[in-house]
Amino acid sequence: MTYLQCSARHCGTTLDAHDRALACPRCGDLLEVAVKPPALEPSDLKVLWRERRESWEPQDASGVWRFREVLPTYESEIVTLGEGNVPLVRARKSAQWAGVRNLHFKHLGWNPTGSFKDLGMTAGMTEARFLGTKTVACASTGNTAAALAAYAARGGMAARVYLPAGQASANKLAQALDYGAEVVQIAGSFDDALNELLAAADRDLYFLNSINPFRIEGQKTAMFELMEQFGWRAPDFLMVPGGNLGNSSAFGKAFMEMKRFGLIEQVPRMVIVQAEGANPLARLWRSQGVELQAVPEPETVATAIRIGNPRSWKKALEAIEFTGGLVMDVTDEELGEAKEAIGRDGIGCEPASATTLAGIRKLLQARELDREASIAAVLTGHVLKDTDYIIKRQGRNKMREPLTVATL
């Protein structure tokens, strides 16, 4: 049986598998799904997971649910849009820009609504429907709202999203509206929006922010898939953008489980990259402190990671410790240049994702990374997620004045 447990190792509290709590009732830390070792041998599991890619059954065709031996199980129907199964793309121009030789992007922006949030949402929404939920809700910088709205529509539930007014990109807001969500604008930051929602949470509302342990389960499968694509041999480094730190936590959990279940021997060193204006974890890492100090007014062009008080920081730090990784930050200018390089590879991404490539160049310059190292960088959002940013930054230099017919 799967069940929920407190993520604080010393606490030891366990809860029923489908408890609706958002935090440990004893110590207040975040919850996580306890996964038991699969019954199959690692080699048989690997074959089974791959074979499912030849099936059209929804639970096999989903790049999340084909790994269901390490996920909570459901008799009820899953809520899926065929997420996951995104390619690992070699990136030569980007590698050259950063000065390294062996770089692959795992583009989680190539998911149904254009970000990795879909991977978590298929799992979270399946749980919500299993519970008989009528309305799901989240606070979001935009991508969670888009994914929540789409998967709620898919699962026949109403969606309500809390967005910081004027801060989410128009593209993400448009998605949420198009999928039929009710949008509540909050005067303030993402952190304010999240607090507002937590205060409003009642029994009729199911809360699907990244502190929801079921979302973490869905997101962790990205790393099972990554390792599969690397032939189950870890690259040297894994670069991940860090905002609320749910994704870093999910990836850390994935590596702990893969190691524990005998699926892999080595783990990649995980590097969390934050934007300099929203860098509480990087500050904590540099200061070697023990308590996170929130950044009161986070500021960065990478709105998906404009978060001053990340909820999942403890789990993220555990992931860094487990993988022998590190935490760093990059400036808006650095990530802007990196984003252009990723575009030149014909790949593209949203600003937050480009922190990964900017981070690689910085690590190389600091001699923390060898140019021959094998590196996987996670691109979290699609290039069309923030078109205003691109047109503002690049339009001026690269667009020619309109020609009149006479001069053509």
161 counts as binding ligand PLP under rule CB under 6 A: no
Nearest to ligand PLP of 133, 219 (CB atom): 219
Tell me the C-alpha distance between 103 and 88, whole Å. Answer: 10
- Where does this chain touch ligand PLP (CB under 6 A) — which range of 154-162, 244-252, 278-286, 387-395? 244-252
Quick one: which of 149, 239, 258, 352 contacts ligand PLP (CB under 6 A)?
Answer: 352
Tell me the C-alpha distance between 83 and 63, whole Å. Answer: 6
- Where does this chain touch ligand PLP (CB under 6 A) — which range of 8-16, 122-130, 189-197, 240-248? 240-248
- Where does this chain touch ligand PLP (CB under 6 A) — which range of 161-169, 174-182, 238-246, 286-294? 238-246
279 counts as binding ligand PLP under rule CB under 6 A: no
323 counts as binding ligand PLP under rule CB under 6 A: no
Quick one: which of 31, 304, 341, 357 contacts ligand PLP (CB under 6 A)?
Answer: 304
How far from chain centre, in Å, is Cα 87? Answer: 16
381 counts as binding ligand PLP under rule CB under 6 A: yes
353 counts as binding ligand PLP under rule CB under 6 A: yes
Name which of residues 332 to 351 contact ligand PLP (CB under 6 A).
350
Nearest to ligand PLP of 115, 221 (CB atom): 115
What string of DSSP letters covers 87-98? PEEE-HHHHHHH
> What minimum distance in Å lies between the beta carbon of 248 and ligand PLP?
6
Burial of 252 (C-beta count, 10 Å sphere; 0-12/13-18/19+): buried
309 counts as binding ligand PLP under rule CB under 6 A: no
Name which of residues 193 to 212 contact ligand PLP (CB under 6 A).
210
> What minimum distance in Å lies between the beta carbon of 303 and ligand PLP?
9
Binding-site size, ligand PLP (CB under 6 A) = 19
Yes or no: say if 102 and 373 are a contact pair by the CB < 8 Å rule.
yes
Q: What are phi and psi of 186, to 5 degrees?
A: -115, 130
Sheet strand arrangement including 205-207: 182-186, 158-164, 135-139, 205-207
> What minimum distance in Å lies between the beta carbon of 42 and ligand PLP?
28
Quick one: which of 64, 173, 194, 305 contacts ligand PLP (CB under 6 A)?
Answer: 305
360 counts as binding ligand PLP under rule CB under 6 A: no
Residue 55, CA atoms < 13 Å, CB-side half-sphere: 14
Tell me the C-alpha distance between 134 and 132, whole Å. Answer: 7
38 counts as binding ligand PLP under rule CB under 6 A: no
245 counts as binding ligand PLP under rule CB under 6 A: yes
| Largest interatomic CA distance in the chain | 77
Nearest to ligand PLP of 37, 87 (CB atom): 87
- Which token pair is 43? 């080699």
Residue that the structure tokens 């997420």 belong to: 83
Name which of residues 111 to 150 contact ligand PLP (CB under 6 A).
115, 117, 143
Burial of 80 (C-beta count, 10 Å sphere; 0-12/13-18/19+): buried
Quick one: which of 380, 383, 389, 390 contacts ligand PLP (CB under 6 A)?
Answer: 380
Tell me the C-alpha distance between 93 and 344, whole Å. Answer: 7
Q: Which amino acid is at 244?
A: N
Quick one: which of 72, 124, 243, 268 contacts ligand PLP (CB under 6 A)?
Answer: 243
Quick one: which of 246, 277, 325, 336 contacts ligand PLP (CB under 6 A)?
Answer: 246
> What minimum distance in Å lies between the beta carbon of 378 and ligand PLP?
9
Instruction: Give the CA distances from residue 14 to residues 70, 119, 336, in Å, rounded to whole numbers and listed in that order.
Output: 18, 25, 44
Q: What is the DSSP letter of 293?
A: P
Tell me the C-alpha distance between 81 and 79, whole Å. Answer: 7
Among 146, 179, 112, 326, which residue's Cα sits nearest to residue 240? 326
Yes or no: say if 80 and 62 are a contact pair by the CB < 8 Å rule.
yes
**Residue ranges in contact with ligand PLP by CB under 6 A:** 115, 117, 143, 210, 241-248, 304-305, 350, 352-353, 380-381
